[in-house]
Amino acid sequence: MRLASLGSGSKGNGTLVRAGDTLVLVDCGFTLRETVRRLALFGLAPEDLAAVLITHEHGDHVRGAGALARKHGVPLYSTFGTARAVTGKPAGFQNTLWREVRPGRTFQVQGLTVTPVTVPHDAREPCQYRFSWGDRELGVLTDLGSLTPHVVECYRECDALVLECNHDPELLANGPYPASLKRRVGGNFGHLSNEQAATLLGHCNVDRLQHLVLSHLSEQNNTPEHALAQIHRAVARGQERIRVAGQNHGFDWLDIH
């Protein structure tokens, strides 16, 4: 199994997961044209995708999804709530090969095993995803405002983890956002801070991690240096396993052995 990213942050997200011949995209938060351009940087075309798995209806996750699915016949997977939330919008899933996922119910995309996980976030029915391929486990976990026992349980044993480090609380408090948005981002249904991400790792089997990718960093309220400083406190050994996903370039293929 291997993973890569088309880009990560509030302007758009897309994570590639490949297992054998099966390629899926988690979220499609760039326009169709931009998604095609970014796929091409990896030598890929939309037709190579077996599925697009959507986490929730926010624009940075769903922007190009409907158009990609309609134009290229790629099946779209999401919860019922997420599909309902985009009904009637340009990013809506009408006239796509839409398939419903239910949090906690594992399903297969070809040989890849996928488990949707419920997370606390201010969307209609948000979920994140965990992938299994043989005995290898990959977790993708962004867009959650707080840690729940369920989230900890679902992500504690992974060989690779894409983990939200959205903001540094001090930068958020002193930053340019209006007070209401600061409350939203920092709240229990907003986004994960660097500290919260470090707390999650304190519950995880970090020795098992081959790759840890810090993701969905806010360009206003965080820096890679702030995120890495917090996470390095939680992962004392093997810090070369840790990297930061960028908004413009995401990250290159990482192999899970």
Residues near Zn ion, by CB under 5 A: 58, 60, 143
CB of 123 to Zn ion, least distance (A): 6
For Zn ion, the closer of residues 42 and 189 by Cβ is 189
Q: Which residues contact 183 (CB under 8 A, 6 or more apart)?
A: none
Rounded distance, CA 88 to CA 86, Å? 6
For Zn ion, the closer of residues 11 and 150 by Cβ is 11
For Zn ion, the closer of residues 142 and 235 by Cβ is 142
Going by C-alpha positions, the residue among 122, 129, 127 that lies closest to residue 145 is 122
Q: Which two tokens stand for residue 160?
A: 């690779």
CB of 163 to Zn ion, least distance (A): 13
For Zn ion, the closer of residues 58 and 167 by Cβ is 58
Going by C-alpha positions, the residue among 129, 102, 126, 135 that lies closest to residue 115 is 129
CB of 47 to Zn ion, least distance (A): 26
CB of 8 to Zn ion, least distance (A): 9
CB of 53 to Zn ion, least distance (A): 14
Helix (H), strand (E) at residue 146: none
For Zn ion, the closer of residues 27 and 159 by Cβ is 27
Rounded distance, CA 32 to CA 92, Å? 13
Minimal CB distance to Zn ion: which residue? Answer: 58
Rounded distance, CA 210 to CA 59, Å? 30
